[in-house]
Amino acid sequence: MSIQDSGNCSSWAEADPLMLEYHDKRWCKPCHDDTELFAMLTLEGMQAGLSWSTIIHKEAAIRRAFDDFDIDRVAAYDAAKVEELMRTEGIVRNRLKIQSVIKNARAIRKLEDGYESFDEYIWHFTDGKQIIHHIKSLEDMPARSELSETVSKDMKKRGFSFVGPVIIYSYLQGIGVYDDHLDGCPCKSRPVV
């Protein structure tokens, strides 16, 4: 049976328990916690050029290394901390990506001058509503959208990095702004009636 016939979109995750858990419990589920929104932004940025499986398997180490994504603590990291992270086993040791995490934490704190939270900022692009796409097969899933282009452009203007439109599309899926589970997938959100 093909994935298109089954209506299941977890074929990318089925061979790996961590990936399957991510698909079933986190992917496309609305998130409104600032720390977790920052965590997902970090993980998506870390993925650039790598597989999502690599990131999921490094996630626990990345969370530990970045103080469980405490935004204030990460925003206060200095050059010595960057060097420490460059020596930390089990994480993505790419200097630009590590510096990006710090830059993004600082950008979150700056944007709070105009928004009460990072959550409010991210979700304002859709007026707080989840967008449920009706996708029949994984081949039909886009890599970017008009919304991801808009969010990417705005975030770059505000000082964020590693936030291109493809990364942001994946981020919007990861935090549940988009529900891109295939129609028929048991994890698909059901519209409120």
Cβ contacts of 172 within 8 Å, gap of 6 or more: 147, 148, 151, 178
146 is catalytic: no
36 is catalytic: no
Catalytic residue among 44, 59, 123, 178: 44
Catalytic residue among 22, 77, 123, 169: 22
Cβ contacts of 192 within 8 Å, gap of 6 or more: none
The burial of 44, by beta-carbon neighbours within 10 Å (0-12 exposed, 13-18 middle, 19 or more buried), is given as buried
User: What's the token pair of residue 76?
Assistant: 């206060």
Distance CA 101, CA 83 (A): 14
Cβ contacts of 119 within 8 Å, gap of 6 or more: 32, 33, 34, 37
Of 190, 182, 176, residue with least CA distance to 126: 176
22 is catalytic: yes
Catalytic residue among 14, 27, 36, 52: 52
Catalytic residues, which ones? 22, 44, 52
